[in-house]
Amino acid sequence: MHIRCLSCATLALTLAAGCLTAAAQTNAPAPATPQAPAAAAAGPTFPLAPASNFTAAAPTKEEVDAFLHATWGYDSNRVWEVFSVEKTQAPGLSKVTVLVGEKPNPRTGEMGFFVTPDGHHAITGDTVIDFGAHPFEASYRTIQQRADGPSLGAPGKQFELVEFADFECPHCKEAQPVVQKLLADFPQAHYVFEMFPLVSIHPMAFKAATYASCVDQQGGHEAFFKYADAVFAAQAELEGPDATQALRNAATAAGLDPDKIGACADSPAAKARVQASMELGRDLNVNETPTLFIDGRAVPMLEVPYEQLKKIIEWQFARDKAAQ
């Protein structure tokens, strides 16, 4: 699995996270008639899609619309038209083409993805994501059942913000003030920190995570977040000869005995706890840090402007509250 500490937006992230940057600016079919100035100000006009564009039995145009509404409905300026749902040479695999625009810009883009024969997944590039009117529901259930890392905020799990982070990742350090702003803006949210060390690129990340697990076990969540703050503050030291001492200092800053934490961090139990957090991330298709799950909806935290991130959270929380 390719892993990264922050990445560029992709079409998969457009679908899963609703990023504004990824609707491909291509030469989509031109409108059937020229746009008047008033129409252009209101946004793009899409051509009518002929019935011959819909050769696949499934998904229906309505099902694709429901999926896109669940994904993009938070953005009142986002407009789209399902232009085709076509058979492919692979039995049951359908190709979907969608025309996309943003008010008030008259330009349009075109994006495409495939829907699997079971109707539950979409394929874009080399990524498989959930498809349907409630595409984040399965991940939401998984998170409610298995995301049991150190937490802040509301005690209940109705509204879940779960961050997968790596202590050696500089972008995860940058994301921590964002977390604090989110907790202030969404007091109803239950925030969970899940450790996802990118061991192939960050050699001290796993050890930092086992220390963190032991701090949480011995000192509780308050001690964990003090430790996390101290590690992020001393992050540059994790790449030098004093890396272990930096972890010991962070344990001391959390009010705990660094010798006891160090001994615990070397234990199979501590390593197993971190491995369980990593396994949860892999099961949720996490491949970069920091990744934030909003009731099961994955968003690359620092690739989304904060006000847009707030809109996504408001939208997702409202939908999930209405469904309960």
Beta-bridge partners for 94: 87, 115
Q: In 3-state terms, what secondary structure has residue 222?
A: helix
pLDDT tens digits for range 39-70: 445 779 999 999 999 999 999 999 999 999 99
Quick one: which of 128, 191, 135, 134 has its CA closest to 164?
Answer: 191
pLDDT above 90 covers a percentage of the chain that reads 82
> Would you give the DSSP letter of residue 157?
S
Cα–chain center distance at 209: 21
Kindly report, residue by residue over 269-285, the tens digit of the pLDDT: 999 999 999 999 999 99
Domain ranges of the chain: 11-134, 138-321
User: Which range among 81-85, 125-129, 152-156 shows the weakest confidence by mean pLDDT?
Assistant: 125-129
Residues in the chain, total: 324
Question: What pLDDT was estimated at residue 41?
Answer: 53
The overall average pLDDT reported for the chain is 89
Run of H or E including 112: strand 108-115
* Residue 126: per-residue pLDDT: 87
Condensed to tens digits (0 to 9), the pLDDT of residues 75-120 reads 999 999 999 999 999 999 999 999 999 999 999 999 999 999 999 9
Cα–Cα distance for residue pair 47/28, rounded to 1 Å: 10
Domain 138-321 has CATH 3.20.20.80: no
Task: For 226-240, write each residue's pLDDT tens digit.
Answer: 999 999 999 999 999
Q: Give the DSSP H or E segment for 183.
A: helix 170-185
Q: How confident is the model at residue 324 (pLDDT cuts 50, 70, 90)?
A: confident
Q: Number of helices and strands (H, E) in the chain?
A: 10, 10
Q: What angle (nearest 5°) sits at the alpha carbon of residue 130, between those of residues 126 and 131?
A: 110
CA neighbor of 16 nearest in space, from 129, 143, 140: 129
Distance CA 189, CA 29 (A): 43
